[in-house]
Structure 1
């Protein structure tokens, strides 16, 4: 590890803490959505799909776009400002790769399905295949949220390691 200045370590601490706090905020929102909102819209489709519609229900699209954008920028800044701190950098990169994989999964599976569910809000009935997809979506969402929680827990030892560098 190169010689690190106090300013460099302070910036690394700040960005790692911001990233960690944003990740835990995101986890709280995901847990709320998973335990409260998902059971509501999935309870009696297609009638309950109206909760997913923009302008008619509780659209969380902009909330998630803003939160993920802020978090991912902070995550990138944490990697940049921790770059000279090998053990922290390497674990941050590993966490970022896992995070990116889950984000790709979200954008390729979860988002398209929600969009389709929204489009079915005005339907009078839904097929058994859609009911199965809703069930799969809910089950996989538990796994996705658990992975995000595991990632956020992975930040804690990094924060401890980084704060111990000063000593």
Structure 2
């Protein structure tokens, strides 16, 4: 599975053709399972929306499905089909799956619920995985891009001047 080209979740949700077989990688947002089927919400940070993976326990081993918890990093290969449920237009019926990194549900701090900004300050390394910070990063990117494009289109150059020192010495500031 690792030699194939990964498709971003955003690309799958926007333009994936029904019937195509694709490889996606990302982090598990939620998983719900019964004896007949497992539904996994996968996100890779390319969009605020999740891709729903539908895993058949007869195709994917029970041991592997037990390792898939909120926060786990997985790779999944499967067929894109029209979604029967509401909330998304397509979903993936998984044929192959691999756990790239496990997340202990007892220790992983981001669970599928709202978290306060104070709580997120304590786990700075996981903030980009939240919808709030993902949206902020997308807005900041769009604003920075627009400013750079504006000045570039007007013929300006973006110059990075050399800095002798980044900090003031002994009270000079």
Larger radius of gyration: 2
TM-score scaled by length of structure 2: 0.23
- Greater RCO, CA 8 A, separation 6+: 1
Higher share in helix: 1
TM-score scaled by length of structure 1: 0.24
